[in-house]
Amino acid sequence: MSKSDAGGGFDAARHLDAMAPALGLTITAEQRPVVLQFIAIAQAMSEIVRTAPLDSASLELAPVFRPGAPRGDAS
Amino acid sequence: MSFDVFTPAHRIATEIREGGLSAETVTGAFLARIDKVNPVVNAFTDVTAQRALEQARGIDLARAAGKALGPLAGVPFAAKNLFDIRGLPTKAGSKINRDRAVATRDAALVERLTAAGAVLLGGLNMGEYAYDFTGENAHDGPGRNPHDPARMAGGSSSGSGAATAAGLAPLSLGSDTNGSIRVPASLCGVFGLKPTYGRLPRTRSFPFCDSLDHLGPFARDVTDLAMAYDLLQGADPEDPHCAQLPVEPTLTSLQRGVGDLRIAIAGGHFSTEGMPEAEAAVAAVARGLGTTRTFELAGAGIARAAAFLITNAESSTFHLDRLRQRADDFDPETRDRFLAGAMLPAAWYVQAQRARHWFHDEMLKVFADVDLIIAPATPCPAPRIGQKVLELRGETVPLRPNLGLFTQPVSAIGLPVAAVPVFGMGLPIGVQIIAAPWREDLCLRAAFALQKAGVCEARAPGL
């Protein structure tokens, strides 16, 4: 992501209005201000994360995926 | 026969092995203590009394028959209710999960302690789906601090911290994604170990955030903590996240001291300026470990932000169907964060994973020159139940996210940490002893040295 892709233009309310129906989520009037507040916090966190001096040629995500490993019973 | 419920676990095991105590007497004493004290601290949500007494009687019969006993034979323990317990639905602090079928088998770590002879007393209270630092829970009521029941036990492993501190179980199991072992250990004044990410298997525990979930033990005594941790170790074929490492015992090196270790105090993000209790606790631990060296730990704020986003995105996606179908059945304090997290742009999440990797690499450079890092565990001792904001460095900030201010950057990259308790003038507060990946032994050596020097101890509450 380049530095110009996000930041000042982000509108939490517009984002919520687009995403909630796309995901099948119902956000009540009571929940809406708190959910907006948390989206705004997440956006602020994403701005902090964007300051990490990452190597633009590296994409090394951390999660573990081990092909062939047996899976447990989910019960 | 009188029995002191604050006796360390390793001494209980010795007394039972040598015939000074029966396992049934010990189990009965803890069940009676739970009856008396749990209504005050609300640590247990389920008490498995019949199972416990049957197992204890079996241990006594085995001893009478001259059979070898496990290293923790007759020592009671309890597990956060996100661990599967045979015969119970795995609540994970939620109302929704009560509709799940009962577990048909114990979680792997519960099985390992049971195989060592430890006696399970029941399941412990926690913040809903582990998304919590306070220990408050709309369904089961708040976990209460044994040192002042009007205050928080800390979360999300509230019952683990409170039960261990209150003498309801000398050992307990909890989970830590962003600080959920270290925060309640700090607020309740007990020892806790968050091992390296991938060290202990999570098999048959209810997940929160795959990239960051850790499991680990609580104890009031460092020898007990090391004993339990050693018995919990080892790969599990059913858990692909668990590192394929042999057991690396820590008990044997526990008393080696810290004279040969390079120890430094974390500054920058971990500064305790304006936090008098945390500042005093860090200073006491630094003195106890013989260091005055401080260094700027750069990038910790980025790691914390990355952990926030990874947690928010993974956990919310995991709960998406539950949010669609049963939003009203969530604890409102967690639901609205999950709803927000379900809508995060993928770019924020992927960037957070990349930043996490960057901070990990930066920290490995730090560990070329340092063996142990001292950092505060929480910004303050236990807040009052219901408290919503915190005074932090002259600013009023929301309490819930900021209780994990100091723990979140460390678990973000999976470093092992021992949380050690310091009792100042009043309530306890914890300090983190952080090591390089896979060096839990160093964390525990330092914790033992601090306990031996009387700097860190888990004092019995007046309950």
In the three-class reduction of DSSP (H, G, I as helix; E, B as strand; rest coil), residue B264 is classed as: strand
Enumerate the residues of chain A whose CB falls inside 8 A of the CB of residue B237. Answer: 69-70
Q: Cβ separation of B339 and A63 shorter than 8 Å? A: no
Q: Cβ separation of B359 and A52 shorter than 8 Å? A: yes
Asked if the peptide bond before residue B156 counts as cis, ω within 30 degrees of 0, the response is yes
Q: CA B314 to CA B180: how far, in whole Å? A: 17
Q: How confident is the model at residue A1 (pLDDT cuts 50, 70, 90)?
A: very low
pLDDT score of A50: 96
- Please report, for residues A43, B139, B267, B272, B349, the alpha-carbon distance to residue B312 in angstroms, rounded to integers and kept in the order given: 12, 22, 27, 27, 9
B279-313: pLDDT as tens digits: 999 999 999 999 999 999 899 999 999 999 999 99
Residue of B106, B312, B339, B356 to mutate, interface with A, max A Cβ within 10 Å: B339
pLDDT score of A5: 46
Q: CA B141 to CA B151: how far, in whole Å? A: 13
Query: What ipTM score was computed for the predicted complex, to two decimals?
Result: 0.93
Cβ atoms of B230 and B249 within 8 Å: the answer is: yes
Distance, in angstroms, between A48 CA and closest chain B CA? Answer: 6
pLDDT score of B421: 98
Question: Touching check for B240 and chain A: CB below 8 Å?
Answer: yes
Assess whether B91 carries a catalytic annotation.
Answer: no
Closest chain A residue to the Cα of B325, Cα to Cα: A25
pLDDT score of B107: 98
Q: Cβ separation of B309 and A15 shorter than 8 Å? A: no
3-state helix, strand, coil in chain B (%, to 5): 40, 15, 45
pLDDT at A19 over 70: yes
Q: How confident is the model at residue A59 (pLDDT cuts 50, 70, 90)?
A: confident
Q: pTM of the predicted model, to two decimals?
A: 0.96
Distance, in angstroms, between B347 CA and closest chain A CA? Answer: 8
Distance, in angstroms, between A9 CA and closest chain B CA? Answer: 14
Closest chain A residue to the Cα of B241, Cα to Cα: A64
pLDDT at A7 over 50: yes
pLDDT at A4 over 80: no
Q: How confident is the model at residue A62 (pLDDT cuts 50, 70, 90)?
A: low
pLDDT score of A2: 37
Every domain of chain B and the residues it spans: 9-452
Q: How confident is the model at residue A72 (pLDDT cuts 50, 70, 90)?
A: low
Enumerate the residues of chain A whose CB falls inside 8 A of the CB of residue B269. Answer: none
Q: Cβ separation of B356 and A15 shorter than 8 Å? A: no
Residues A62-67 have a mean pLDDT of 66
Sign for the pseudo-dihedral over CA of B341, B342, B343, B345:
positive
Q: How confident is the model at residue A67 (pLDDT cuts 50, 70, 90)?
A: low
Angle at B315 between CA B310 and CA B316, to 5 degrees: 105
Q: CA B231 to CA B10: how far, in whole Å? A: 13
Residues A38-63 have a mean pLDDT of 91
pLDDT score of A58: 86
Distance, in angstroms, between B235 CA and closest chain A CA? Answer: 12
Region for residue A7 given its phi and psi (left: phi exceeds 0; alpha: psi -120 to 50; beta: otherwise)? left
Nearest by CB: A19 against B343, B355, B356: B343
Q: Cβ separation of A72 and B320 shorter than 8 Å? A: no
pLDDT score of A74: 40
pLDDT score of A71: 58
Which CATH number is B9-452's, of 3.30.70.270, 2.60.40.350, 3.90.1300.10, 1.25.10.10? 3.90.1300.10
Q: Which residues of chain B have pLDDT under 70?
A: 1
Closest chain B residue to the Cα of A59, Cα to Cα: B354
